[in-house]
Amino acid sequence: FLSGAISKTVNMPHDATVEEIEKTYIEAWKLGLKAIAIYRDGCKRSQPLSTSEKSAEDGTTDKPSPGSLSSPKTTSSSSRPAPALQPYRRRLPSERTALTHRFEIEGHEGYITVGLYEDGTPGEIFLRMSKEGSTISGLMDTIATLTSMALQYGVPLKVLVRKFSHMRFEPSGFTKNPEIPIAKSIVDYTFRWLAAKFLSPEECKSIGIVPRERKPSPGRKKDSPATGTKYEENTPPKGLTTTFSFQNQSDAPLCSFCGSITVRNASCYICPTCGSSNGCS
């Protein structure tokens, strides 16, 4: 028979009665325990654990019953915090379709290669500049890697285009792409080209990118008196230039879609970057 070598502590509240303590000893005897130690809350000056009188949810007094030795209280699954969702990376297959685009901005030549999923959406991007080992080449490779990781982890392309398009830094200038005649930077050109290829016109307009539309001139055709060639009434003959059609002015407003400086065209202001017009009467 063991009297003091086994410590089976039974924690009871501060207002536990003599009858409850008696029933606890009887319950321990029925369970076949050799010995138990009753501990009433607050009976010592210091204790390792402390319990509250009322529950934070329903305000009821939390008293252990004498039968709590046989049926310990378990925490419900609903009260446990839900596990944090782990990010999922959608990798491309080993063999995938790719699209390569060559561009040139003020003499800086580069290539954009986009790896596609089976549904035709972009999943990775590679940016290669003609001058390998340069600072621009290293930065573009880093931006392409970050963009690829973002796309594979589910970041919408629309969000990336809204964030990185119209960034202004060198090299910038004219391009040979009629859809993007002027690029504010290589990053600006890359994401505006991605928007033109993989986003709908409604999505492009919602993020401030207006695709250039080639519309025929409404004027009727006339014959040139000198050469006999036909040309539009509102446009000059081929080979002739006008000095008043597109001139930069210091008071020209900014484009309401892309933020570029507009140029005057008759009584209107036209944006050479996105093709939108404003200020027309």
CB 186 within 8 A of CB 171: yes
Number of domains in the chain: 3
CB 197 within 8 A of CB 161: no
Q: Is residue 26 part of a domain?
A: yes
| Residue that is last in its domain, among 186, 206, 226 | 206
pLDDT digits (tens, 9 = 90+) for 172-209: 888 888 888 888 889 999 999 999 889 888 887 777 67
In terms of pLDDT, which residue wins out, 230 or 94?
94
Give 217's pLDDT tier (boundaries 50, 70, 90).
very low
How many Cβ atoms are within 10 Å of 29's Cβ, its own excluded?
Answer: 11
Whether residues 104 and 189 share a domain: the answer is yes
Q: Is residue 72 part of a domain?
A: no
pLDDT digits (tens, 9 = 90+) for 83-110: 777 888 899 988 989 999 999 988 888 8
Whether residues 111 and 166 share a domain: the answer is yes
Q: Which residue, 240, 271, 245, 237, is CA-closest to 257?
A: 271
In terms of pLDDT, which residue wins out, 145 or 129?
145
| Residue that is last in its domain, among 191, 206, 221 | 206
By residue range, what is the domain housing residue 174? 97-206
Q: Is residue 215 part of a domain?
A: no
pTM: 0.49
**Pairwise CA distance, residues 182 & 259, whole Å:** 13
Give 256's pLDDT tier (boundaries 50, 70, 90).
low
Q: Is residue 92 part of a domain?
A: no
Q: Is residue 80 part of a domain?
A: no
Whether residues 109 and 177 share a domain: the answer is yes
Whether residues 60 and 107 share a domain: the answer is no
**Pairwise CA distance, residues 90 & 153, whole Å:** 6
Q: Is residue 201 part of a domain?
A: yes
Beta bridge partners, 122, equal: 116
Q: Is residue 253 part of a domain?
A: yes
**Pairwise CA distance, residues 272 & 260, whole Å:** 8
CB 278 within 8 A of CB 268: yes
Whether residues 51 and 110 share a domain: the answer is no
Whether residues 25 and 103 share a domain: the answer is no
Whether residues 42 and 117 share a domain: the answer is no
Instruction: Identify the pLDDT of residue 253.
Output: 72
Whether residues 131 and 176 share a domain: the answer is yes
Whether residues 132 and 200 share a domain: the answer is yes
Give 170's pLDDT tier (boundaries 50, 70, 90).
confident
What Cα–Cα distance (Å) separates residue 267 from each residue in 1, 4, 243? Answer: 109, 103, 15
Instruction: Identify the pLDDT of residue 236.
Output: 44
Coil, strand or helix at 105? strand
Q: Is residue 81 part of a domain?
A: no
Whether residues 244 and 172 share a domain: the answer is no
Instruction: Identify the pLDDT of residue 34.
Output: 77
Whether residues 22 and 117 share a domain: the answer is no
Instruction: Identify the pLDDT of residue 115.
Output: 93
